[in-house]
Structure 1
Amino acid sequence: MTSDLNAKLLAGEKKSELLAAAEEEEEEDKLSRTLWVENKKLWVVAGPSIFTRFSTFGVTVISQAFIGHIGATELAAYALVSTVLMRFANGILLGMASALETLCGQSYGARQYHMLGIYLQRSWVILFMCSLIMLPIFVFTTPLLKLLGQEESIAEMAGTISLWFIPVMFSFVLAFTLQMYLQAQSKNIIITYLAVITLALHGFLSWFMTIKLDLGLPGVMGSMILAMWVPVLGELAFVFLGGCPETWTGFSYAAFNDLGAIIKLSLSSGVMLCLELWYNTVLVLLTGYMKNAEVALDALSICLNINGWEMMISVGFLSAAGVRVANELGAGSAKRAKFSIVNVVFTSLTIGSVLFVLFLVFRGRLAYIFTESDAVARAVDDLSVLLAFSILLNSVQPVLSGVAIGAGWQSVVAYVNITCYYVVGIPLGIVLGYVLNFHVKGIWMGMLIGTAVQTLVLVGVTAKTDWEKQVAVARQRLNKWYMEAERSSNGSTEAA
């Protein structure tokens, strides 16, 4: 009797163990499937976004290489316009366009498909007006630079080059908005194909127009304008000719409604991203006032060049994070939104950690790719630890900014950026660099601390967020603007 009872108990325990093992295996399979599906969605957006940004960066590098063979004055003027004026315009337009990332991503998740086309048109109106406001800066570049004390020959040449950049600036209006519109619905693979064509076309045309036809500066700049507009025209053709039948239903008068609310969100987005994009510019400006600034600037420019290439990966994940969070909030799933955040942060951090180790190992040897100067290589070696930590932080901070864009927190993050970057980072960098005589390392350390503080704040905000509440906020925003657009459409016989 006792032995039978023991046998039954043992059988029961074994059965329970088998059931537990089966449940555990099922949970692991479920997690694996969920990870596979989530990563497919992630890379559908991140892959084309990263490649497109590499392509755009490559167009700038190719142009700079060909202009460098034309003359030193032309090269200096091009560098001045591209790194100051175009970075200024790029920051404002990209920042303001990121409002579209929030709206399109959440609307697509909520299956309000027709609203994506309306939001796209509203963003065109707002960014075009913004470009018109910035236009005088490009028209009057020469007198502005002379007023700031720039050398006359460089100022004159910069004024000529800035006029060539005007069509490039207006191409950004369509390029940024179309990319965000397409990636919100995971249809941005077309942008990758166009980016490949663009890079090859620009390389060939720059060579043909500059070397073969001997057109000099007009040849390079003309090729750049074509390189910027070819993908835009290709994307427009894709959208207009049926590539997005659910989200593009034609032009509508509804595009001119609710512009005030969209402008407010766009301005918040613009301030948020501009404060980040201009941060490294301040680092260069502060370094320029130091003793032996030439070597310091050369070393810093190499480090920032490496950092810039790596940032193309980070910004790709920024876009992916924004789309995934916005899609899931629009779809009403707080759980999937949180899972997508963890997944994209882990993926980006893994890549960043590999690059962190890589740059610590190779240190100053990487400098010889860009220079033959031993003094500059030693300076780069001295800065390599800071570069490695910058790359590590870049693998997390932009992703969290993407989360903020997806959730629509741009105004909150703008205040965080002002405080961490311009109240903590830059003043601390000035103290370490000039007062405590750590020179360029001190400036960079201070600004790196500012970035670290900002990252920690965003981690805290993201971790403590009630995502169920964010779903409700997203639904409220979308329903409000959806109803207003629908009423407007009925009144004007347009299909919203």
Structure 2
Amino acid sequence: METNNTPLLLHSSKAEEEAKPEQPVVTRYWNDFSDESNRLWRIAGPAIFTAICQYSLGALTQTFAGLLSDVDLAAVAVENSVIAGFAFGFMLGMGSALETLCGQAFGAGQINMLGVYMQRSWVILLTTACLLIPVYIYSPPLLVLVGQSEEISQAAGKFAIWMIPQLFAYAVNFPIQKFLQAQRKLAVMAWVSAIVLVIHAFFSWLLIMKLKWGLVGAAITLNGSWWLVVLGQFIYIVYTKCDGAWSGFSWLAFTNLWGFIKLSLASAVMLCLEFWYLMLLIVITGRLDNPLIPVDAVSICMNIQGWDAMIAIGFNAAISVRVSNELGAGNARLAKVAVVVVSTTCMAIGVVCFAIVLATRDYFPYLFTTSEPVAKETTRLAIMLAFTVLLNGLQPVLSGVAVGAGWQTLVAYINIGSYYLVGLPLGILFGFTFGFGAEGIWGGMLGGICLQTIILIGVTSARNWAKEAEEAENRVKRWGGSAAEKH
């Protein structure tokens, strides 16, 4: 079996610690915190940059569509947030099974299994993409069902059909990204995403504005950009072999698929329940009497929250990599240190973002609207937005810990209870029954996020990390041991 020196560093950390002279407790904890913070930022920095670049692809397309007409803007916005958002959440969740398996296999030194895991995920996600095609084809009646107007639903449905190639780009891209993240090869993802974003901006202007191709040009550019991301990353993998993690296509990709499907589905349910939760805020707000102003205000707040979420996604990826690598290497103590460091770091960032939102709540709405009623409603909702970005500092990180450790099924049950049995009913109760409107809806749903965060803190704190390391070792043997020997 091929090996790599990189994961051996994880194993050697135990021996190095034993060889070090005894240090004062405070000094040892500070050194651990400093070293782990270093490792964390080397992963989180490029991951945040990549997330922002890829988020900007759809945002730029939406901006150019807004220069065409109100209907075109609505078509792209609804397709991006509802249709593609639904597919994005589900495919990202399915692909997140690789964060557990690739990360722990890398930490355990079974490098050559990473490529096999990625190919298994391709098989499952490409099949899932085929099953999701009807959502795109029949999106107009589905959009009408959730409260969109007939005109917008028809326009968004037409654009959705043109965007089916993006669905298959998601299916190939997410496994590639988890494969590279597990090996901490995030710089290539950042470079590819940055280059594609520049290309995307130029061709969006050329096709949509200069050549007047309208939404057809928007679809060509957005589809093409996502496939360029996939192609750039795959060329890197094939050319470098990723230090033995990629050795070509293998029939092992079709073995043990059922177990892989179960873990993928658990990951998908866990992430989708989170990803779709705040999306429901706009849908439910649209059911209020005279919903235009509150829907516009919530949309502005969700735009701010979306950019803030890119930071959370970067740290989510970083802690998932750190926990899975260390547990795979049998380093239970370092896995626990990683959780403490990332939680502290992200809470500090969350507090800063909380303060910025509150300090600018009378001003930032005017960056998005010239309507005085919408701006005032946005200012009122800014308090809810502030608490949401504060929780963004910790909640996604705890989900990343769960993915890295392989607790997807447990967290899926926690999400169902916290979000959909508590938060959603509370939001409807406060918003409609008690008449608090958009603030009541958001406040109730925020209660669900608080409950989920508290439960995850308890679960993470109560875990026996030495036992988690043993479970990771057993998982690596169960999923890759025998196959790796045959490879």
Moved more, 434-443 or 149-158: 149-158
The corresponding residue for 1:17 is: none
The corresponding residue for 1:294 is: 292
Deviation (angstroms), 1:143? 5.2
Deviation (angstroms), 1:147? 6.9
The corresponding residue for 2:45 is: 47
Aligned pair in 2 of structure 1 residues 440, 146: CA closer, same or farther (>3 Å)? closer
Deviation (angstroms), 1:365? 1.1
The corresponding residue for 1:400 is: 398
Q: Which amino acid aligns with 1:234?
A: G
Aligned pair in 2 of structure 1 residues 149, 35: CA closer, same or farther (>3 Å)? closer
Q: Which runs of 5+ in 1 are unaligned?
A: 1-22, 490-495
Residue 309 (structure 1) aligned to one of 307, 310, 314: 307
The corresponding residue for 2:478 is: 480
How many Å separate the matches in 2 of 1:133 and 1:480?
Answer: 29
- CA RMSD after TM alignment: 1.7
Residue 464 (structure 1) aligned to one of 462, 465, 479: 462
Q: Deviations over 1:262-287 (max 9, x none)?
A: 10000000000000011012111111
Moved more, 350-359 or 31-40: 31-40
Does the aligned pair in 1 maintain the 2:322–2:335 contact within 8 Å?
yes
Residue 435 (structure 1) aligned to one of 433, 436, 447: 433
Q: Which amino acid aligns with 1:118?
A: V
The corresponding residue for 2:361 is: 363
Residue 154 (structure 2) aligned to one of 136, 146, 156: 156
Secondary structure of the 2:116 match is helix
Q: How does 1:195-206 map to 2 (within 5 A)?
A: 195-206=193-204
Deviation (angstroms), 1:28? 5.3
Question: Is residue 420 from structure 1 mapped to residue 418 from structure 2 by the alignment?
Answer: yes
Deviation (angstroms), 1:384? 1.4
The corresponding residue for 1:453 is: 451
The corresponding residue for 2:86 is: 88
The corresponding residue for 1:173 is: 171
How many Å separate the matches in 2 of 1:50 and 1:93?
Answer: 19
How many Å separate the matches in 1 of 2:70 and 2:388?
Answer: 31
Q: Deviations over 1:431-482 (max 9, x none)?
A: 1111111111111111111100100000000000011111111111111122
How many Å separate the matches in 2 of 1:144 and 1:397?
Answer: 31
Question: Is residue 211 from structure 1 mapped to residue 216 from structure 2 by the alignment?
Answer: no
Q: How does 1:30-179 map to 2 (within 5 A)?
A: 30-142=28-140, 144-145=142-143, 151-179=149-177
Q: Which runs of 5+ in 2 are unaligned?
A: 1-20
The corresponding residue for 1:493 is: none
Secondary structure of the 1:244 match is helix
The corresponding residue for 1:14 is: none
Q: How does 1:337-376 map to 2 (within 5 A)?
A: 337-376=335-374
Q: Which amino acid aligns with 2:336?
A: K
How many Å separate the matches in 1 of 2:269 and 2:137?
Answer: 24
How many Å separate the matches in 2 of 1:281 and 1:148?
Answer: 12
How many Å separate the matches in 2 of 1:364 and 1:177?
Answer: 42
How many Å separate the matches in 2 of 1:224 and 1:458?
Answer: 37
TM-score by length of structure 1 reads 0.91
Moved more, 123-132 or 147-156: 147-156
Secondary structure of the 1:471 match is helix
Q: Which amino acid aligns with 2:214?
A: G
Does the aligned pair in 1 maintain the 2:147–2:283 contact within 8 Å?
no
Residue 411 (structure 1) aligned to one of 409, 412, 417: 409
Aligned pair in 2 of structure 1 residues 33, 350: CA closer, same or farther (>3 Å)? same
How many Å separate the matches in 2 of 1:31 and 1:437?
Answer: 50
Residue 379 (structure 1) aligned to one of 377, 380, 394: 377
Question: Is residue 273 from structure 1 mapped to residue 266 from structure 2 by the alignment?
Answer: no
Q: Which amino acid aligns with 1:34?
A: D
How many Å separate the matches in 2 of 1:80 and 1:191?
Answer: 28
Number of aligned residues: 467
How many Å separate the matches in 2 of 1:285 and 1:143?
Answer: 15
Q: Which amino acid aligns with 1:317?
A: F
Does the aligned pair in 2 maintain the 1:364–1:382 contact within 8 Å?
no
Does the aligned pair in 1 maintain the 2:112–2:484 contact within 8 Å?
no
Secondary structure of the 2:195 match is helix
Aligned pair in 2 of structure 1 residues 315, 480: CA closer, same or farther (>3 Å)? same
Question: Is residue 193 from structure 1 mapped to residue 191 from structure 2 by the alignment?
Answer: yes
Q: Which amino acid aligns with 1:445?
A: G
Q: Which amino acid aligns with 2:65?
A: I
Deviation (angstroms), 1:317? 0.7
Q: Which amino acid aligns with 1:206?
A: S
Deviation (angstroms), 1:346? 0.7
Secondary structure of the 1:371 match is coil
The corresponding residue for 1:492 is: none
Moved more, 424-433 or 243-252: 243-252
How many Å separate the matches in 2 of 1:175 and 1:200?
Answer: 19
Does the aligned pair in 2 maintain the 1:67–1:74 contact within 8 Å?
yes
